[in-house]
């Protein structure tokens, strides 16, 4: 006599359901996968945009720059809310368990679909915010691209002036004006060497331009 499945034999713990039950499970699992993809896309977009905000903050301390940082922080709080709801929905339902009830699968699908929709909605808000940062980000990136070359040109100009002073003195000539000018630039060189991390990008660029002009 063929053995009966455990669910009908009386001693088994596994509950079998097919048809509609398995369909509910499959739909819930599909909702879980879609929510996971939406969560990943939102997380990636937030990380990318954080780099843009940090770039702007390094350069732009204007009201527009500060507002961009504040708006991004507010978006971050909304992202935390929808991410928490998604994680809670995932953790609340084991969709791979053998004895998953169709009603539980249906409820899980509803919660995961709602979580996915919220993730997608906030991702849309984040994308629109990022598009609006274009002018600020472009300006910040331009200034950052100028920073290292400008500082290096200023240092080379100071080095050239210092070498010229040494040559004049070696020839037994006086160069009081050049010596005084270089002495006045010494504190500016110190600040240049301290870098934009201490003094800001805009101030460092301005200082490099002044040093270059006065050293030539």
- pLDDT tens for 149-179 read 888 888 888 888 888 878 888 877 777 787 8
Given a cut of 60, whether residue 2 has pLDDT beyond it is: no
Domain boundaries, the chain: 16-132, 138-215
CA distance 131 to 45: 12
The predicted structure's pLDDT at residue 20: 56
The answer to whether 101 and 89 are in contact (CB under 8 A) is no
Q: Which of the pair, 100 or 123, is modelled with greater confidence?
A: 123
CA distance 61 to 39: 32
Helix (H, G, I), strand (E, B) or coil at 179: helix
| Six token digits for residue 99 | 């004895």
The predicted structure's pLDDT at residue 19: 52
Q: What is the pTM of this model?
A: 0.67
Q: How many other CB atoms are there within 10 angstroms of residue 182's CB atom?
A: 18
| Six token digits for residue 121 | 């909605």
The answer to whether 36 and 44 are in contact (CB under 8 A) is no
**DSSP calls for 80-126:** HHHHHHHHHHHHH--TT-TT--HHHHHHHHHHHHHHHHHHHHHHHHH
Given a cut of 80, whether residue 211 has pLDDT beyond it is: yes
Return the DSSP state at 19: T
| Six token digits for residue 12 | 């088994």
């Amino acid at each position: 006599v063929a053995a009966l499945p455990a669910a009908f034999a009386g001693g088994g713990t596994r509950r079998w359901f097919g048809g509609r039950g398995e369909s509910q499970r499959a739909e819930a699992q599909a909702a879980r996968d879609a929510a996971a993809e939406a969560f990943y896309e939102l997380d990636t977009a937030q990380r990318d945009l954080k780099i843009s905000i940090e770039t702007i903050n390094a350069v732009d301390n204007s009201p527009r720059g500060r507002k961009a940082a504040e708006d991004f922080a507010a978006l971050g709080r909304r992202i935390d809310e929808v991410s928490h709801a998604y994680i809670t929905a995932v953790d609340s339902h084991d969709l791979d368990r053998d004895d998953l009830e169709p009603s539980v699968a249906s409820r899980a699908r509803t919660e995961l679909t709602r979580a996915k929709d919220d993730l997608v909605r906030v991702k849309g808000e984040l994308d629109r915010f990022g598009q609006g940062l274009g002018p600020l980000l472009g300006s910040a990136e331009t200034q950052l691209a100028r920073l290292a070359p400008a500082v290096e040109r200023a240092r080379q100009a100071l080095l050239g002036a210092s070498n010229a002073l040494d040559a004049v003195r070696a020839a037994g000539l006086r160069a009081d004006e050049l010596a005084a000018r270089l002495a006045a630039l010494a504190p500016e060189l110190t600040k240049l060497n301290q870098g934009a991390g201490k003094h800001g990008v805009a101030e460092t660029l301005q200082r490099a331009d002044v040093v270059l002009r006065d050293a030539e």
